[in-house]
Amino acid sequence: MDYEAFFQVELDALKEDGRYRIFAELERKAGSFPRARHYAEDGVGDVTVWCSNDYLGMGQHRKVLDAMHATLDACGAGAGGTRNISGTTHAHVVLEAELADLHGKEAALLFTSGYVSNWAALGTLAARLPNCVVLSDELNHASMIEGIRHSRAECLRFKHSDPDDLDRKLAQIDPARPKLVAFESVYSMDGDIAPIAEILDVCERHGALSYLDEVHGVGLYGPRGGGVAEERGLMDRITVIEGTLGKAFGVMGGYIAASAALCDFIRSFASGFIFTTALPPALAAGATASIRHLKASGWERAQHHARVAQVRRRLDAIGIPTIDNPSHIIPVMVGDAKKCKMISDWLLEQHGIYVQPINYPTVPVGTERLRLTPSPVHTDGDVDRLVDALSEIWSQCALARRAMAA
């Protein structure tokens, strides 16, 4: 077999379909978010980033940077090993205690990313609970799907955010059999929010463990940034809350928060935790500083919600089609992979606006979109430039608009 030819044919097919992914080479400017330098073949230019998951701009917050600098100077660069072999530093222990407190749980456990925390925790629970069956929301993130798949446990998918379908499926399972229900709070592509209380009602009725992915909720919702479950007063009813340090908290890493026994169980059996180098202590210290700040400060969340509402109003007023949802994510619907990429390229080249196109397999074919994530660090001028540019390119591409708002 000509392996190189095979690779090229597959890549060419992606390009023909408009689904080939090109990474924008950026250099974010601390103190000037959402500004970044864009490195391209024809030179270097300044751009405004409209698709970052650093939702609150905490990646440049002075408290976060000071904590990271101080820990870097005191402890050096890396952790020096796995958590089991010399890699558990004081910064890791402090951060895990902070996360447990954030979610009102007995314990928390750190991982190197949100992807790994889902893969390791779900994979370990489903594999080691005897004859476990997992019930997974049909739109769960790839990391959850891969963890469940890796466990080789039986998996039943229930209709997206549908407690009645979940109830029907659970009712057909032997009541004595271990059951694990996995779902998300905020779904990152459509921006919808799960009916968490209703799903928990079903879990409790059937004696199922609940596993909630809050990666797009932590920091952003709730009086202390504990997520949608905190906002709705539901954290104590959830078996496992999983989150990330790489989005609203502005740093890097993933975690679970749960009972002391469950966290110790994952710590003791999950290969994705045991056999990987621990996060650098400076990252752990930065995350702790970010969490502590957002526990006490509601300013960032209030500004964030206000900016999201402003962008929604402005886009609605000019008929740009978006998915109506209650979250902070604004999907601008294009519906064509090639046009989606063309619009993204045009915004970048003509206006210095960076919004990555979202195509299959991240979203279904025919639902291609630009995923906007307004933040407190965007200005009124940034919003004006974005809205004007989108209006211009929408007309150029002869794309349909909604009825104009009055």
What span, in angstroms and rounded, lies between the C-alpha atoms of 309 and 324? 11
Positive or negative, the CA dihedral 111, 115, 116, 117 is positive
The angle at the Cα of 302, spanning 297 to 308, to the nearest 5 degrees, equals: 140
C-alpha distances (whole Å) from 100 to each of 81, 90, 210 are 24, 16, 17
Active site residue 247: yes
User: Which of 105, 179, 247, 341 is labelled catalytic?
Assistant: 247
Residue pointed to by tokens 């074919």: 365
What span, in angstroms and rounded, lies between the C-alpha atoms of 139 and 155? 14
What span, in angstroms and rounded, lies between the C-alpha atoms of 99 and 110? 9
What span, in angstroms and rounded, lies between the C-alpha atoms of 172 and 176? 12
What span, in angstroms and rounded, lies between the C-alpha atoms of 394 and 380? 21
Sheet holding 330-333, edge to edge: 330-333, 369-372, 357-358
What span, in angstroms and rounded, lies between the C-alpha atoms of 353 and 350? 8
Query: Do 243 and 229 touch, CB atoms closer than 8 A?
Result: no
First to last CA, the chain: 62
Active site positions, annotated? 247
